[in-house]
Amino acid sequence: MTETHRWRGVIALSLAAGAVGLAVDRPSMLLLAVVGVVFAAYPRVVADPEPKLRLERRLSNSTPRPGDEVTVTVTVTNEGGFLPDVRIVDGVPALLSVSGGSPRNGAVFWPGRSVRFSYRIQAKHGKHPFEPATVVARDLSGAREVETTVAADTELDCTATGAEGPLRDKTLDQVGRIVAQKGGSGIEFHRTREYRAGDAMHRIDWNRYARTGSLTTVEYREENAATVVVLVDARRVAYRSTTDEPHAVAYSVSAAEQLLASLHRDRNLVGLAAFGREQCWLEPGAGRSHRANAQRLLATHTAFASLPPTEEADHEEQVEQLRTRLPSAAQVVLLSPLSDQTIVETARRLDAYGHRISVISPDVTADESVGQRLAGVERENRLSELRKADIPVVEWDPETPLAAALLDRPRRVRA
């Protein structure tokens, strides 16, 4: 409860009028002083406002595409007593902007009454949980107010699906979706060979047998799984952005979400890691519970916070910790805006240690100033340096879906 001091000036004037009224013996001025006393005493005799509100929030589309407008409808219901003056500000996600209407509303709340208002936001890449709405309730005189929050779990999921990871040729001897060079179980034709005793009947080429009378067996390309660690560059330098747009870490987290879903679906062993204020590590695994753990880390781990860190751990130490944790057969998909040379050296170092690394780089550079153009040139040089080191790089314009950016690479790799 706080005092607004809204009537302080009025009370002072009323008391002054009372003093003058006594001095000149004017009853009308004395009456004015009484009014001031009433305003001064009123907040002392009425109860403080105690808002008990329930908030419901509905989205016209909870899984939009980037750039789509989403209408947010907020319904606030008073489950307590009379509230003469309530101001509400909805908790719009920090990275989204309001494109129409207003997330603010004011109302007089009778018990059981509901107030509904709507506004529009523009979707951007990533998962965007709404913050609790801020509520300010004042008493009838406006002299005292209470500020509180009302929460409702709402999330806008703007992550496209179907982003198949840019995996390289390092696989495991278990079933997955990466096509191998040797024959085995699978769906893609590999070769025919002479029949051997014990071959399955359904793999015999009966058409050739009808033509030539010889038995041959059809082999398909074997499909193997990979161990993949999705690594997010969440260091302070990675929190770069253009004006009014999400920063690169937000885009990287969105891309990680899509890659994890795709890699899990393709029966790979998938892990998660991050550099930044605190190292994040989830050992590669498979299954629904493992995928849920990865999604939970992306949503809650401090390494993926929406604000850049003020302090962060030693990067060299984090690289060494990651290297000791990575399984020997693990590939790494690095998500980074390539904001400095350090991350380039880190990528080359991990590749030199035998971990086949691929890079997806969200482009958050601009060309509105000399400094921004210089940053763009430096990023291009880093991209070129990685490619010269035979490290594949996918340049991703966040205005387009990640899946579209990955279309230019081969859909399958040969193990």
The mean pLDDT of 363-386, rounded to a whole number, is 89
In three-state secondary structure terms, 5 is coil
Point out the least confidently predicted range of 18-22, 174-178, 248-252, 350-354. 174-178
C-alpha 144/C-alpha 140 separation (Å) is: 9
Residue type, 104: R
pLDDT of residue 90: 93
Q: What percent of the chain has pLDDT over 90?
A: 30
Residue type, 78: N
Domain 227-408 has CATH 3.40.50: yes
Task: Quick: pLDDT tens for 79-117.
Answer: 988 888 889 999 998 778 888 899 999 888 888 889 999
Residue type, 381: N
Distances in Å between the Cα of 340 and the Cα atoms of 265, 311, 378 are 33, 17, 8
Q: Give the chain's mean pLDDT.
A: 81
pLDDT of residue 413: 42
Is-contact 52 82, C-beta < 8 A? no
The mean pLDDT of 367-393, rounded to a whole number, is 90
Q: Buried b vs exposed e over 96-122: b needs ≥16 C-beta within 10 Å?
A: beeeeeebebebebeeeeebebbbebb
pLDDT of residue 188: 55
Beta bridge partners, 179, equal 223
Identify the band that residue 75 occupies on the pLDDT scale cut at 50, 70 and 90: very high
- 9 class by beta-carbon count within 10 Å (0-12 exposed, 13-18 middle, 19+ buried): exposed
pLDDT of residue 1: 66
pLDDT of residue 221: 61
Element (H, E) at 378: helix 370-388
C-alpha 415/C-alpha 178 separation (Å) is: 7
The mean pLDDT of 379-408, rounded to a whole number, is 85
The mean pLDDT of 25-45, rounded to a whole number, is 69
pLDDT of residue 415: 42
The mean pLDDT of 367-380, rounded to a whole number, is 88
pLDDT of residue 344: 94
Q: Between residues 20 and 327, which one has the greater pLDDT?
A: 327
- What is the edge-to-edge ordering of all strands in the sheet holding 330-335? 280-285, 269-275, 227-233, 330-335, 357-362, 393-396
Task: Quick: pLDDT tens for 121-172.
Answer: 988 877 788 989 999 988 776 667 888 999 888 888 877 555 555 665 555 4
C-alpha 93/C-alpha 71 separation (Å) is: 14
Identify the band that residue 282 occupies on the pLDDT scale cut at 50, 70 and 90: very high
**pLDDT of 175 higher than 60:** no
User: Do 53-158 and 227-408 show the same overall fold?
Assistant: no
**pLDDT of 8 higher than 50:** yes
| Backbone phi, psi, residue 46, to 5° | -105, 155
What is the distance in angstroms between the CA of the first residue and the CA of the last residue of the chain? Answer: 67
- Among 43-52, 147-156, 261-270, top mean pLDDT goes to 147-156
**pLDDT of 409 higher than 60:** no
CATH topology of domain 53-158: Immunoglobulin-like (2.60.40)
Task: Quick: pLDDT tens for 310-320.
Answer: 888 899 999 99
Taking the domains of the chain in order of start, what are their residue ranges? 2-39, 53-158, 189-220, 227-408
The mean pLDDT of 348-352, rounded to a whole number, is 92
Residue 259, token pair as written in the block:
């890659």
